[in-house]
Amino acid sequence: MTKEIDNLVKKVISFSQQVYKENPIPLHRPIFEGNEKNFLSECIDTNFVSSVGKRVDEFEEKIASFTGSKYAIATVNGTSALHIALKLLGVKEKTEVITQSLTFVATCNSISYLNAVPIFVDVDRDTMGMSPSALELFLKENATFRKGVLFNKKSDRKISACLPMHTYGYPCRIREIKKICKDWNIPLLEDCAESLGSFVDKKHSGNFGVAGALSFNGNKLITTGGGGMIITNNKKLASAAKHMTTTAKVPHPYNYIHNEIGYNYRLPNINAALGCAQIEKIEFFLSQKRILNNKWKKALEEFNLDFLEALENSTSNNWLNTIVLTSRKDRDKFLNLTNKKGVMTRPTWELMSDLPMYKNCLRDSLSNSRFLRDRVVNLPSSVPNIMLSSTSI
């Protein structure tokens, strides 16, 4: 395989240099070609740069409209969105949340912030998201109801939520997961940090569970610099999320009254202004990323590679173009050679179950997760400058 990997590296470097006229070539960078400067200047001119300002409300309305959710609550980042959503779903200290080990650390950290404990079930290889069959098997083998409350027989802890992730913007089998959660009476929260613009049966990700959590970090499809959003169709949860993320302050013209322990998680107006400009271009970004994804597949079609693709009846935002190599040895060589040439490629995350703070958490075999950890590579996925004015690359 050495020769094939060498040829693959050459092709990836050549294609990347052809498409991206920059050095080094980043994995995914933001694009500011719209009203970003105008909206930011407006914030500065009006002095509304913190958590009060019209752009926060406007950004929430635009995200709700785009995702088809009834409500959207802006937060300072995706992790805080997960944290608050889990809390409002009823996750408490010494309860358990079923999630996946193949994910970004924020997924598990948000569980830990509540002094709850992650349980790790395997992913499907073709989605890299939580496997419904693994979830169902785990529940059948380990879960039991006591007076209508679901407990883990092995740990004797209550199972309080399920938290799958739509990895790299490719929807997992969320319909099947939703059914299992309904059968077992488990609240479902979707980690949509990477899946803004991804749909299943024309329904946006995040609308299958009680809520979804988005991220607008600098490397996402659209960015607010740092920012997140809870989306939900539950009015009570939305109202509670808005209250809790604004330090639980009781509305009043001038008095400062707080009726519970809240969090200073409200997105600043200056960040929301950036988001309002970015979302004006979201359909353009999505269309160009579809073109880029197809170009990558065509450029590498001579190689024996598995590309991560959306399932039937699903649509991906193609956030990160992702391939699966044949071995960890090939992966490591590929990463080393491409990055040495200034083409940023990256592996997937180390499994959460292998990190020191989560190594003692209950898990299944995680066979697919380990397979993917050793072989997955992300390719440069920014919308190239050349595509901002032309779709020919």
Q: Which two tokens stand for residue 351?
A: 């499994």
All structural domains of the chain: 2-28+281-388 (3.90.1150.10), 36-279 (3.40.640.10)
pLDDT in tens, 267-301: 999 999 999 999 999 999 999 999 999 999 999 99
State mean pLDDT over 177-204: 98
CA proximity to 167, closest of 316, 49, 35, 366: 316
What's the pLDDT band for 384 if we cut at 50, 70, 90? Answer: confident
The percentage of residues in the chain with a pLDDT greater than 70, rounded to a whole number, is 98
Output the average pLDDT for the chain. Answer: 96
Q: What is the pLDDT of residue 21?
A: 86
If you write DSSP's letter for every residue of 63-99 in order, what string do you get?
HHHHHT-SEEEEESSHHHHHHHHHHHTT--TT-EEEE
Residues 102-132: tens digit of each pLDDT? 999 999 999 999 999 999 999 999 999 999 9
pTM, entire model: 0.95
List all residues 6 or more positions away from 168 whose beta carbon is below 8 Å from its beta carbon.
Answer: 128, 194, 308, 319, 320, 322, 378
Calculate mean pLDDT across residues 233-238.
98
pLDDT of residue 388: 55
Give me 238's structure tokens.
């939305």
pLDDT digits (tens, 9 = 90+) for 191-234: 999 999 999 999 999 999 999 999 999 999 999 999 999 999 99
Q: What is the mean pLDDT of residues 251-266?
A: 95
User: Percent of the chain at pLDDT above 90?
Assistant: 93
Q: How far is CA 98 from the centre of its chain?
A: 17
Distance CA 265, CA 283 (A): 28
- Mapped onto helix, strand or coil, the DSSP state of residue 284 is helix
The per-residue b/e assignment along 306-316, b for 16 or more CB within 10 angstroms, e otherwise, is eebebbeebbb
Residues 6+ apart with CB under 8 A from 10: none
Per-residue confidence (pLDDT) for residue 304, from 0 to 100 = 87
What's residue 50's pLDDT? 83
366-382: b (≥16 Cβ within 10 Å) or e: bebbbbbbbbbbbbbbb
Confidence of residue 391 (pLDDT cuts 50, 70, 90): very low
| pLDDT for the residue numbered 385 | 73
Helix (H, G, I), strand (E, B) or coil at 247: coil
The residue among 291, 388, 274, 370 whose CA lies nearest residue 331 is 370
The answer to whether the CB of 235 falls within 8 A of the CB of 71 is: yes
Query: How far apart are alpha carbons 318 and 295 in whole angstroms?
Result: 12
Distance CA 322, CA 12 (A): 12
CA pair distance 39, 45, nearest whole angstrom: 10
> What is the model's pLDDT at position 386?
62
Which residue in this structure is represented by tokens 């059968």? Answer: 183
Residue 1 pLDDT exceeds 70: no
Segment 151-161 shows an average pLDDT of 97
pLDDT tens digits for range 346-371:
999 999 999 999 999 999 999 999 99
Backbone angles phi, psi at 99, to 5 degrees: -145, -165
Is the pLDDT confidence value at 387 over 90?
no
What stretch of H or E contains 229?
Answer: strand 228-232
Quickly count: other Cβ atoms within 10 Å of residue 296's Cβ: 22
Task: Evaluate if residue 251 carries a pLDDT over 60.
Answer: yes
Q: Which whole number is the average pLDDT over 383-390? A: 67
What is the b/e burial string over 47-63, where b = at least 16 CB atoms within 10 angstroms of the residue's CB? ebbebebebbebbbebb
DSSP string of 161-222, one letter each residue: EEE-B-GGG---SHHHHHHHHHHTT--BEEE-TT-TT-EETTEETTSSSSEEEEE--TTSSS
